[in-house]
Amino acid sequence: MLTLNLVQGSTEWLAARSQYFTASEAPAMLGFSKHTSRSDLLAQKKTGIVPEVDAGTQMLFGRGHETEARARPIAERIIGEELFPATGVLEVEGLQLLASFDGITMLEDAIWEHKLLNKGLAECVMNGDLPDTHWPQCEHQMIVAGLDRVLFMTSDGTSANSFHFWYVSRPERRAQVLAGWKQFAEDLKTFEPEARTVKAEAAPIEALPAVVVQVQGSLAVQDNLKTFGERLKSFIGGIKQKPETDQDFADAEAAIKALSKAEDALKNAKSGALEQISAVAEMQRQADLYHDLARTTRLSLEKLVKAEKENRKTEIVTAARGKLTDHVRALAESVGFAIEIPADFAGAIKGLKSIDSIKNAADTELASAKIRANELAEKVRANAKTIEAAGNRHLFADMAQLVMKAPDDLAAVISTRVAEFERQEAARLEAERARIQVEERVKAEREAAAKAEEEAKRIRAEERARAEAEAKQIARAEPEKNLLAEARPERAERPAAAPDARVEPISAPISAPTDTGATVTLGQINARLAPISLSKDGIASLGVEPCGRKRAAVLYRKSDFARICSALIKTIESAQQFKEAA
C-alpha cells in the first residue's frame, strides 16, 4: 500500500478520490447504498461531477468527524496502539483502489472504522456482523491495507454509547467486491450519462368550473352544466393518451384525480338539485351524461397508465435480459462451455413506482448477474485447465458438467478417476506382460528345441563323418581280418548248442587293448561297423556301458571297441549255430 500525504476532506483529497475506486463507494457499486444508486455512481465517475453537499448533510458530516475524534482514544485502548487518519492506494488486478482510514497504526498492522451511532447498526455490531450497506467498505479497506480484519465501531464519542467488534474478512465477500469493481470498470467504459431530471411532478391542472345547480321557483333550474361540459371535454382532449416518461405518468395520474373530483362534483350537484325540487329531468340527464363521461375517461386513463407502466417495465427488463444474454454468450464462447446465470429482474423491480427507480434496479441486477457470470467463467476456465493438466482426456467425457464443480470437488473426482484408471491400466499391462512372457517363453523353448535339434543333427553328421574317416583310416592301417583276429581269441571246439538254447551275452571281461583315455562316440562305432548299426541299449546288452556324454553324443572308451566287436561276433556266431541246429 502506498500512503498519500493528503488531509482527508481537502481539495487535494477530493481530487485524488476521483482517480480511484474508493472504499466508501463500494456499497453503491454493488447496489447496496441507500443514498447513491449504481447508475448515479457511474455518472459521477464518468463525468467527475459529484452532487453538492447541502447544509444539512454537511452538518451531519461535521458531527461524524467530531464524534470520530472523541472515539479514537477508545479505539486506541482496544488496539493498544496509537491510531492516525490516513489515505492509502493500491493497484489490485488492474484496479486502482483507494481507502481512507479513520485510524491506522504506525506499523499499518491494524485499522479502525468509525460510524456515527445508529441503533440498527449497533444491533448488527452486537450480533457480530455488518449489513450490506457497510461490509463492502470494510472489505475494500482491508484489501488496500493488506489485512484480514478491521476494528469496526459505532458510537456517539462516549464509552457508554460505544459498540465495537473485530470484523474479519470473508473470502466470498472480498471476491465479490473485486469482481464488482471489475464489472463496474467495464461498464464505465461504455457508460453514457443520461440527462439528469428532477423528480416528476404533475403539471398544474386547470381546475374545472364548480358545478352550480340552483332551483328557483317551482320548476326553474339554473345551472352551468353546458359550460362545465365544454370545459370537461376540452380537458379530456388535452390528456396524453400514451405516457412514456415519468413526467407523462405524473400528469396522467393528476388528470385521473381531477376527473375523479369531477365525478364527485356532478354526483353531489345532482343530489343537491333533487333535494331542492323533485323533477329536474333535464338537469339530471346532463349531469348523468357528464358524470359518465368523466368516469369513463378516468377509468380508461387509469387502465392506460397501468398498461403503459407495465410496458415500460417490460421494455426495461427485456433490454436488461438481452444485455445479460449477450454478455453470457460472449463468456461462453471464450471458455468453450455453455454458461447459465439466473437473474431475478422481476424481483429487483417489484414494488417500484418510478421509471428511474425501475431502470436503476434493473441495471443493478444486470451488473450483479454479470459479476456472477464472470466468476463462473473464471472457475470454468480454471477447471478446464485442471482437467487438461490431468491428462487422460478420455476419462472426462462429462467435462461440460465437471467444469461447473467447485475446485475441491473437481480435484476429488479427477483423483478418483485417474487412480482407478491407473489401477486398471496397471492390471492390463501386467496381464499383457504375462501374456508376452508366456509367448516369449514358448517361442524361446521352441527355438531352443529347434536349435538343439539342429545342433544334434550337426553333431551326428560331424560324428558320422569323423567315424567314417577314422574307419577308413583304420581299414587302411589294419585290415579287418587282423583287427578281428586280435580281438577274437583262439576258439576251442565246442559242442553245438541245443536248438532251444538261448545265447546270453558275455559277462566275463574280454581281453582288450589298454585304456588310454581316448573315447569314441556311438556314431563313430556305427560308422566302423557299417552296415551294422547299434543303439546305446544294444551295446549295453553286449556288456559295455558308456563312459560319458558330449552334448547329445554318447561316448565310449576307444579301448572298448575291440570288446564290442568280440561280443558282437560271438553273438553272430551263436545266432548262426542256432540257425544250423534248427
Instruction: Give the residue among 528, 545, 527 at the shortest CA–CA distance from 536.
Output: 545
Cα dihedral 327, 332, 333, 335 in deg (nearest 10): 130
Return the number of other C-beta atoms located less than 10 Å from residue 435's C-beta: 10
The predicted structure's pLDDT at residue 463: 79
Distance in angstroms (rounded) separating the CA atoms of residues 565 and 482: 13
The H or E element containing residue 483 is helix 480-487
Distance in angstroms (rounded) separating the CA atoms of residues 269 and 263: 10
Cell of 264: 364527485
Sign of the CA dihedral with 40 first, then 46, 49, and 55 last = positive
Distance in angstroms (rounded) separating the CA atoms of residues 82 and 77: 8
Return the number of other C-beta atoms located less than 10 Å from residue 353's C-beta: 10
**Structural domains for the chain:** 2-190 (3.90.320.10), 213-337 (no CATH), 480-581 (no CATH)
Secondary structure string (H, E, C) spanning 495-564: CCCCCCCCCCCCCCCCCCCCCCCCEEEHHHHHHHHCCCCCCHHHHHHCCCCCCEEECCEEEEEHHHHHHH
The predicted structure's pLDDT at residue 345: 86
Q: Kindly write down the DSSP assignment for every residue of 70-102, as one continuous string.
A: HHHHHHHHHHTS--EEEEEEEEETTEEEEEEEE
Cell of 300: 380508461
Residue 220 pairs in a beta bridge with 216
Instruction: Give the residue among 527, 523, 566 at the shortest CA–CA distance from 543.
Output: 566
354 φ/ψ angles, rounded to the nearest 5 degrees: -80, 150
Distant-in-sequence, close-in-space partners of 251: CB < 8 Å, separation ≥ 6: 202, 203, 239, 240, 243
Cell of 284: 339530471
| Cα–Cα distances in angstroms (integers) from residue 127 to residues 27, 85, 118, 141, 355, in the given order | 20, 27, 14, 21, 37
The predicted structure's pLDDT at residue 213: 55
Report the DSSP pairing between strands 553-557 and 519-521. Answer: antiparallel
CA atoms within 13 A on the CB side of 382: 12
| Cα–Cα distances in angstroms (integers) from residue 354 to residues 321, 325, 361, 387, in the given order | 20, 26, 11, 49
The predicted structure's pLDDT at residue 491: 43
Radius of gyration of the chain (CA): 59
The predicted structure's pLDDT at residue 556: 87
Could you give the angle at which helices 225-237 and 281-335 cross, rounded to 10 degrees? 10
Residue matched to cell numbers 441495471: 363
- 62-79 tens-digit pLDDT: 888 999 999 999 999 999
Q: Are 100 and 75 in contact (CB under 8 A)?
A: no
The predicted structure's pLDDT at residue 276: 60
Low-confidence ranges of the chain (pLDDT < 50): 198, 219, 279, 480-511
Residue 392 pairs in a beta bridge with none
